[in-house]
């Protein structure tokens, strides 16, 4: 059976060079980076070299990069410490955030009785910056948490503008950049955000490793206690092979960024054209048709299929070897509607099947054609 992988927003295939580099480290550099003997010092050297390299891509100091198990842990570290340790009494976020942010904020609201305000959305799911500016006028100690690229509909936040608004109103700014690190360049001396979260498996690196950027002097404190690893932010023996794998994946992503972005954007445009040729009733969720206002790595399409037939669509696509998603991978096993689509679609369109197709440099137009041929069996002309 033909296998087509269009679920790169959920996770990406590791590059061969990343696998090779990780295998090399696992074979020869298995020392504990906290040990003082030569094997430990060698592991420590690799650890700090990777930290320095990763920091260089964002124009920050190595001490501002904290390795975590992934984006979810990075989000939790920042949000929980901001309330517990920094005196934040109000969080401004949106109802379209990843559950790593939404559920953490809900927990903090219940535990610490903080104020939580959800910024208004425009019709296409973009953040209403006028409403954000209004919310920022409160006198509370505030933290704004808004994702750079939405993982379901691909909307792209004007992160520079939000950073400017936060600075002007004395608010901390945290951004979940899991879908953008490795796909967009970010100079954090120009973009004055305070915290970000990233995850290696979104840019062809290994699972189980990511990092938080924590701006120097922020006051963020540990959430995992034990040893003094990661400058006290995160106790536990560092996974050197995963960290080196993340470094290698990030190096290759940025080295090939322009070439691969052009290739993937061309594929996205082709996919949109082919989907529109299926039916005049095909629509796209969020802002994903807008090249400037959305990421080049995904589309979320609403298909004109009756609910009784649409309920089997994802199952049938899977039988045909097509990997895609009805929302984020974190909720794909649930019968509930996507919380993102529930916020932006009317009742009629919520009843129709929506599919997220997300791309990488390993995808081809032939794969798009195969998906389109499969969809023809479902979509009415």
Domain ranges of the chain: 4-12+256-375, 16-255
How far, in Å, CA of 157 to CA of 244, rounded?
30
Biggest distance spanned by C-alpha atoms of the chain:
70
Nearest to 70 by CA among 151, 176, 158: 176
Percentage of the chain lying above the pLDDT 70 cut: 97
pLDDT on residue 328: 45
Q: Which one is the CATH code of 16-255: 3.40.120.10, 3.40.640.10, 3.90.340.10, 3.40.50.720?
A: 3.40.640.10
Structure confidence by residue, pLDDT tens digits, 232-276: 889 899 999 999 999 999 999 999 999 999 999 999 999 999 999
| Full-model pTM | 0.95
How far, in Å, CA of 74 to CA of 63, rounded?
15
| Phi, psi of 277, rounded to the nearest 5 degrees | -70, -20
Q: Is the pLDDT of residue 84 over 90?
A: yes
Bridge partners (DSSP) of residue 66 are 212
Q: Is the pLDDT of residue 43 over 70?
A: yes
The two domains 4-12+256-375 and 16-255 share their CATH topology (first three levels equal): no
pLDDT on residue 336: 65
Q: Which one is the CATH code of 4-12+256-375: 2.40.50.140, 3.90.1150.10, 2.70.98.60, 3.40.50.1240?
A: 3.90.1150.10
Question: Which residue among the candidates 302, 324, 330, 361 is catalytic per the annotation?
Answer: 330
Q: Is the pLDDT of residue 306 over 90?
A: no
Q: pLDDT-derived band of residue 331, with 50, 70 and 90 as boundaries?
A: very low
Nearest to 51 by CA among 66, 39, 36, 38: 66
How far, in Å, CA of 151 to CA of 122, rounded?
17
Percentage of the chain lying above the pLDDT 90 cut: 88
Which of these ranges, 21-25, 199-203, 292-296, 376-380, has the smallest mean pLDDT?
Answer: 376-380
**Active-site residue 330, yes or no?**
yes
For 45-67, what is the mean pLDDT?
Answer: 98
């Amino acid at each position: 059976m033909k296998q087509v992988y269009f679920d790169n927003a959920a996770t990406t295939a590791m590059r061969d060079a990343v696998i090779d580099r990780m295998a090399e480290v696992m074979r020869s550099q298995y020392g504990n980076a906290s040990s003082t003997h030569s094997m430990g010092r060698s592991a420590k050297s690799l650890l700090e070299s990777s930290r320095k390299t990763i920091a260089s891509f964002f124009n920050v100091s190595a001490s501002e990069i904290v390795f975590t198990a992934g984006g979810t842990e990075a989000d939790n570290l920042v949000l929980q410490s901001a309330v517990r340790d920094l005196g934040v009494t109000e969080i401004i976020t949106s109802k379209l955030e990843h559950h790593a942010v939404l559920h953490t904020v809900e927990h903090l609201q219940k535990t610490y009785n903080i104020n939580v305000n959800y910024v208004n959305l425009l019709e296409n799911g973009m953040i209403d910056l006028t409403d954000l500016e209004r919310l920022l006028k409160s006198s509370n100690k505030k933290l704004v948490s808004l994702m750079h690229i939405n993982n379901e509909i691909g909307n792209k936040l004007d992160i520079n503008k939000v950073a400017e608004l936060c600075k002007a109103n004395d608010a901390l700014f945290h951004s979940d950049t899991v879908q953008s690190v490795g796909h967009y360049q970010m100079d954090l001396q120009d973009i004055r955000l305070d915290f970000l979260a990233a995850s290696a498996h979104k840019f062809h690196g290994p699972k189980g490793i990511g990092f938080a950027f924590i701006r120097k002097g922020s006051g963020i404190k540990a959430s995992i206690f034990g040893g003094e690893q990661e400058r006290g932010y995160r106790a536990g023996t560092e996974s050197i092979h995963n960290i080196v794998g993340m470094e290698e994946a990030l190096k290759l992503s940025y080295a090939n960024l322009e070439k691969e972005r052009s290739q993937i954007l061309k594929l996205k445009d082709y996919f949109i054209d082919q989907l529109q040729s299926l039916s005049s009733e095909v629509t796209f969720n969020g802002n994903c048709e807008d090249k400037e206002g959305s990421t080049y790595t995904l589309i979320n399409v609403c298909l004109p299929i009756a609910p009784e037939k649409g309920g089997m669509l994802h199952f049938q696509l899977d039988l045909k070897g097509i990997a895609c998603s009805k929302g984020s991978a974190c909720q794909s096993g649930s019968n509930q509607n996507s919380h993102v689509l529930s916020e932006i679609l009317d009742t009629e369109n919520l009843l129709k099947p929506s599919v997220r197709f997300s791309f990488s440099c390993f995808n081809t137009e032939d794969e798009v054609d195969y998906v389109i041929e499969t969809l023809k069996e479902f979509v009415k002309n």
